[in-house]
Amino acid sequence: MENKEKSLKKNFCMNAILTMSQFIFPLITFPYVSRILLAEGTGKVSFATSIISYFAMFAQLGIPTYGIRACAQVRNDKKKLSKTAQEIFIINIIMSILAYIVFFIAVCNVPRLKDEKTLLIIVSATIFFNAIGMEWLYKALEQYTYITIRSVIFKFIALIAMFLLIHQQSDYIIYGAISIFASSASNIFNFFNVHKYISLRPVGEYNFKQHLKAVSVFFALSCAATIYVNLDTVMLGFMKTNVDVGYYNAAVKIKTILVSIVTSLGTVLLPRASYYVEHGLKEDFYRITKKAINFVFLVATPLMLYFMFFAKEGIFFLSGNTYGGAIVPMQIIMPTLFFIGLTNIMGMQILVPLGKENIVLYSEIVGAVVDLAINYILIPKYASAGAAIGTLVAEIAVWIVQYIYLRKQIKDAYKNVRYGILILALFLGSIASLWVKKVFSGSFIVLLNSAILFFGVYFIVLTIAKEPLIYQIEEGLLTKLKKKGKK
């Protein structure tokens, strides 16, 4: 048990570093890029990325999630693991070829796509990189140290490339290429490194049929998720202008950074949860579930509240003063941090390992339908703010469906949260920081001072109240520091 805990802590630390890199990379590059490309340029790249996400979704066929579960269940048997991984890889390659065929037909025949043909073709490289990367295998084997180091190196190279190659508004195509390089090109190393974990010799007697039923459910799940995650940007691109897409993208960029922090623990726990379920370790399964739900409450609520209060400063710092149209969409979209965090735990960590991915599918279909309806009504009048409302209501709908189904299993985890202490910490943090707006000027200065006060007071209150998760983390850090001091 102790070794499992150490392994889980190490994985979480590695994933935390990876999350930090995903936070720092756009924090450094987007302020520079957004001021050069302006809302129109960043809007074009955002629109292209959203369009390609649909083709990538078709190519991936739900494998990124299914592959983790399937490989995690047989990871202690190299022969079975090799056979399973090869079968999934072959399915992925076939679907990627089909996706490219459909993509090129669409680019040649849809006028709106023809306008940005070069950009779309470059961004479509993500389909190829995803196929050869086999990221699901590395996650199933909990190779988070390797994943983190590789990702950070490529992001650093991309960071340098951004400043060297992007100098004028017409460089938005270069921005699209570098973005894909940063997020996906490292998958080349995955392909050449995979022989360390599985046999590359064709094992023969492949049984693709055993995967198809589960993969089809995960594919439908991926469809629903991708549709409502990217629907706002795609509908804005077709119904409004690239500038509106740019404003919305600026708000979503900050939300995406924060979501990666909130969901970081759930990402690490999925293979471990699948392993616990497969081996009947239900106590361990529900123990990490309680911890994960508590983590979301403690991390998502302060981030959500802080960036609603300081949306203007956040947008102006990250994107520049020309992005005033992104402030209201950002304030509207911030509560999604909380709901995405919870549904990530309930869906990916509880329902998927339990083999109930069909419930996740139903919830995301509801989310997609709600998002489509609200976008259709509100985008023509409210543009990016309307898209933000659609996203928020859709995420709430997904949470409601999952909670209704899981209420018996999950109620103890929700009861475990110390709501009174949490509200007090948020209230005192807000009081301590809001006055900063009236005293200081300049987005960075306001953000720096307010963040120190808000999160400082927040964590001090939780520490004094001996909030279990915070107390456990702080106690662990103190123990390590004492051990180092004795050496």
Domain count, the chain: 2
- Last residue within a domain, chosen from 398, 417, 436: 417
Residue that finishes a domain, picked among 395, 417, 439: 417
- Last-in-domain residue among 417, 442, 457: 417
Tokens of 214: 């589960």
CA dist 331 and 309 (Å) reads: 8
* Residue 426, C-beta contacts closer than 8 angstroms, at least 6 positions apart: 301, 302, 305, 458
CA torsion sign for 398, 399, 405, 406 is: positive
pLDDT at 65 (0 to 100) = 76
Residue matched to tokens 């392909």: 191
Please measure the distance between the N-terminal and C-terminal CA atoms of the chain and give it in whole angstroms. 27
Per the structure, the complete domain to which residue 306 belongs is given by 2-417
Two structure tokens written together for 18: 């990876």
The pLDDT value given to residue 3: 47
Q: Are residues 377 and 450 in the same domain?
A: no
E-state strands within 378-439: none
66 plus 179 within the same structural domain = yes
Please indicate, yes or no, whether residues 104 and 26 belong to a single structural domain of this protein: yes
- Cα–Cα distance, 89 to 67 (Å, whole number): 9
User: For 139, what's the count of Cα atoms within 13 Å in the CB-facing half-sphere?
Assistant: 23
Determine the pLDDT at residue 355: 75
Residue 303 contacts residue 455 (beta carbons within 8 Å): no
Whole-angstrom distance, CA of residue 136 vs CA of residue 318 = 32
C-alpha to C-alpha distance for 272 and 139, rounded to whole angstroms: 10
Positive or negative, the CA dihedral 104, 108, 110, 115 is positive
Q: Are residues 267 and 324 in the same domain?
A: yes
* pLDDT of 457: 95
Pair 408, 444 in one domain: no
State residue 482's pLDDT score. Answer: 62
| pLDDT value of position 335 | 94
Residues 84, 94 within the same domain? yes
**Whether residues 257 and 319 fall in one domain:** yes
Are the C-beta atoms of residues 218 and 65 closer than 8 Å to each other? yes
Nearest one of 39, 34, 249, 326 to 162, comparing CA atoms? 34
Q: Indicate whether 318 and 395 sit together in one domain.
A: yes
Phi, psi of 206 (to 5 degrees): -65, 140
**Tens of pLDDT, residue by residue, the chain (487 residues):** 444 444 556 666 666 677 667 667 777 888 888 888 888 888 888 888 888 888 988 888 778 878 887 888 787 778 888 888 888 888 889 999 999 999 999 998 888 888 888 999 999 998 998 888 888 888 888 777 787 788 888 888 888 998 999 988 888 899 999 988 887 877 888 888 888 888 778 777 777 777 777 777 777 777 776 776 777 888 888 888 778 888 888 888 888 878 877 776 555 555 555 566 656 666 777 777 787 888 889 889 999 999 999 999 988 888 878 888 889 999 999 999 999 989 888 887 778 777 777 888 888 889 888 988 999 999 998 888 998 999 999 999 999 999 998 888 788 888 888 899 999 999 999 999 999 988 888 888 999 999 999 999 999 999 898 887 777 666 665 665 566 555 5
299 and 355, same domain (yes or no): yes
Same domain? 356 vs 473: no
Do 360 and 449 reside in the same domain of the chain? no
Instruction: Verify that 393 and 429 share a domain, yes or no.
Output: no
DSSP label of 441: -
